[in-house]
Amino acid sequence: MSKTPASPKGKPAPKSQPRKATAKPEGAAPEGDRIAKVLSRAGVASRREAERMIAEGRVSVNGKKIDSPALNVTAKDRISIDGQPLPEAEAPRMWLYYKPIGLVTSNSDEKGRTTIFDELPEDMPRVMTVGRLDLNSEGLLLLTNDGGIKRKLELPATGWLRRYRVRINGRPKDEDFAPLRKGLVIEGERFQPMTVSLDRQQGANAWLTVGLREGKNREIRRAMEDIGFSVNRLLRVSYGPFQLGNLKPGEVEELRARVVRDQLGLAEEEEIPATRPTRNRGGKPAGKPMGKPAGKPMGKPAGKPVGKQAAQPSGKQGNPGRTAGKAPPARGARPDQRGGGKRPAGKNPRR
């Protein structure tokens, strides 16, 4: 057997020393998440609103009020708002909402006009809108209880394609839309190229399908005005892979957990519990509950297989849910299908 060599005479064998903890490299990112992000994930407020609450002295961490959002917190920290403990973070959820004409996409309006939040079902949790639709626009508006999802879908770098059905006054020719396809500069503001197809002429009006990957204020209306046409109806039919389907004005539909997880790349454990029904603004159920009553197995899908063409407006004011003929969509304007080739989501289970 081999023996451990003895230490040289006169020198004691070195003692084993405990390992020192590895020091964090200088400039390393602090642990945890920014306080505003944590408040947003808990469904309390959007990040911007959370920062405002912090500035007003309404937020405390470990019993001490804070006045700056430049603070990272972890699960060990005790956070309270107006003296009440921060509620547990909800699982991320998403809804499709058909925004009617005449509602403001805002939490409150300085002119006292009705907002979408005044008309949403009372049993809805606190939600935020993904982007906006102006007062006279209608169609698909995404809602979520998660500030991270909202930010992800709104970022220009994400490149989600928004597709619209647009009615303009006049008799345009296809070549009239060349400036929009190249990209415009209006009053010093750069508009990225749009996809535009001329679908059909209907009396004094023409129907178009327009696709864009930005979301600037009144972008389509301003672009059309710049080339000499006025928009008299604008309906959003899809946002990325999510489609309006057969929803009617004012109706809400919660997306299935698997659809949201796959399309947004959420982790398995973040799957959305879909157990409560969604109601329309009239108080009647807008669809079957996403889960079954107690005593029966959960998990029945809330909708049929997805992927049908989004609903097209008929061109008649006041009945936007009907199909407007069989006009072809703009080339390249089909919604992106993320999540490894998943088919578009948003088919209404009631139809």
In terms of average pLDDT, the best of 10-19, 50-59, 119-128, 170-179 is 170-179
The span from the first CA to the last CA of the chain, in angstroms, equals 82
Contacts of 325 (CB under 8 A, 6+ apart): 199, 200, 312
Mean pLDDT score across all residues of the chain? 75
Percent of the chain with pLDDT over 90: 41
Dihedral angle computed from the Cα positions of residues 188, 189, 195 and 200, in that order, rounded to the nearest 10 degrees: -70
Q: Look at residue 333 in the predicted model and tell me its pLDDT.
A: 39
Confidence band of 29 (pLDDT split at 50, 70, 90): low
Q: Look at residue 15 in the predicted model and tell me its pLDDT.
A: 55
Q: Look at residue 267 in the predicted model and tell me its pLDDT.
A: 57
Note the pLDDT tens digit of each residue in 32-89. Answer: 888 888 887 776 777 788 888 999 999 999 999 998 888 999 888 899 999 888 877 7
Q: Look at residue 261 in the predicted model and tell me its pLDDT.
A: 84
Is residue 96 classed as helix, strand or coil in its secondary structure? strand
Whether 174 is catalytic is: no
Q: Look at residue 76 in the predicted model and tell me its pLDDT.
A: 87
Q: Go through 332-341 and write b for each residue having 16 or more CB atoms within 10 A of its CB, e for each that does not.
A: ebbbeebbee
CB 103 within 8 A of CB 119: yes
Note the pLDDT tens digit of each residue in 96-142. Answer: 999 999 999 988 888 889 999 999 998 888 898 998 999 999 999 99
Residue 328 scores a pLDDT above 60:
no
| The model's pTM | 0.62
Ranking 83-97, 158-172, 195-209 by mean pLDDT, the lowest is 83-97
Q: Look at residue 49 in the predicted model and tell me its pLDDT.
A: 84
Residue 90 scores a pLDDT above 70:
yes
The strand order across the sheet containing 59-61 reads: 64-65, 59-61, 79-81, 84-85
How many Cβ atoms sit within 10 Å of the Cβ of residue 145? 23
CB 146 within 8 A of CB 43: yes
pLDDT, mean of residues 159-170:
94
Note the pLDDT tens digit of each residue in 217-276. Answer: 899 999 999 999 999 999 999 999 999 999 999 999 999 988 888 888 765 544 444 434
Pair of tokens at residue 127:
């939600």
- Pure H helices in the chain: 35-41, 47-55, 116-119, 147-154, 178-182, 219-226, 257-264, 338-341
Instruction: State the DSSP code for 198.
Output: E
Pair of tokens at residue 86:
């921060």
Q: Look at residue 96 in the predicted model and tell me its pLDDT.
A: 97
Of the candidates 134, 226, 262, 336, the residue annotated as catalytic is 134
- Among residues 89, 139, 128, the alpha carbon closest in space to that of 272 is found at 89
pLDDT, mean of residues 135-158:
88
- Among residues 336, 290, 324, the alpha carbon closest in space to that of 96 is found at 290
**DSSP codes of every residue in 149-166:** HHHHHH-GGG-PPEEEEE
Residue 6 scores a pLDDT above 90:
no
**HSE-CB of 205 using CA atoms within 13 angstroms:** 15
Is residue 196 classed as helix, strand or coil in its secondary structure? strand
Confidence band of 331 (pLDDT split at 50, 70, 90): very low
Instruction: Tell how far CA 16 is from the center of its chain.
Output: 57
